Structure 1
Amino acid sequence: MSYLLEQYWGWMLVAGILGLLVGWIVTQTERHVRWVAGWLHGALWLFAIGIVVAVLKLLPGRAGLWLETALLLFAAYLVGCWLSAWIRSMLAADAAISTTGSQPGTRAAATDAAGVGSRPLVMEQPTGPLDNLKLISGVGHKNEAVLHELGIYRFSQIAQWTEPQVHWIEHYFSFPGRVEREDWRGQARILAQGIETEFAKRVRLGEVDTSED
């Protein structure tokens, strides 16, 4: 193995850089993150099997050499993917802090949230009318304003939150468990389809006032 490291360190460097680039590109959206996670799950199993075959020397001669070389290059590629994903998560956390740091108390909330779950994907402010997020029971004037500051304007964004993203939001707002308890995602899924929930209907009819929170 040390012989391979000496001979192929340049190719390992190339594989690592390729992993950095690919990891950086494919982690831009949650859909691609899920796809990569599923692909890597199977790839890691194959990698583990390859390690066993290499250690036990089940492939003799040139075939065994090719296997060990492929394992080294793939390991370098995986390290590159992981490193780029880690860098992107750190940049996202810093962006959350710098975006909200000028408001009282929000810097501490962003700092706490940075270590819990993962920040939801953001979008540029749409040019058309924004969704009325206050139609979600539990989202009032203040919470809607903060969601807008986080780049969340649509019911569809909330409907697509993953569990780690829900945890991030709950800790960012300093109300752990509330998003799940009030079922923001479930309400958002219905509203995103153009269907009124009972709460939204009551708001439209003026039967209830949206909260200040």
Structure 2
Amino acid sequence: MSELIQTYWPMIVAALVLGVAVAWFVFSTSRKTRVTGTSRDVLDEGAAPAERNKALIDSAPAATPMQPAGGAAATPDATGDDLTRIKGLGPKLAATLRDMGVTGFAQIAAWDDAEIDRIDARLGRFQGRIRRDDWVGQAKLLAQGEDAGFAQRYGKLS
């Protein structure tokens, strides 16, 4: 074995040097990212705004408050009720419901299964809360002013 190494040592050293050089080249070039493009982005300073975005900015809003499908729901006063009194309905959900035109306990109390499904589909990651937390039952008690019955069934009012 030692005779073999003594005979071919120049080739072994050359192969080792060549292997180190190739490895260095491969690893050093793969870590560098070069940006060679000269095109400017519309967000660069001094660039004109994109026309498609300008049309979206100038257009009128498409969303309008939704009205209950049944049409027989009671109309709350101008300020509406404090919907956050319903357990499981926080400020973010209350704002979402107000954007949909739901402002009072009487409206929620009048929801049927179809209306619950329609509203629930628009609640995003909060889907399922209406039935799980029994918003309709809570809203019926709150709309009737039965705070004692509400506290007995759902806990103390917050």
TM-score bracket for this pair, using the shorter chain length: 0.3 to 0.5
| TM-score of the aligned structures, taking structure 1 as reference length | 0.36
Higher helix share: 1
| TM-score of the aligned structures, taking structure 2 as reference length | 0.48
- Higher RCO (Cα < 8 Å, 6 or more apart): 1
Which structure has the larger Rg over C-alpha atoms? 2
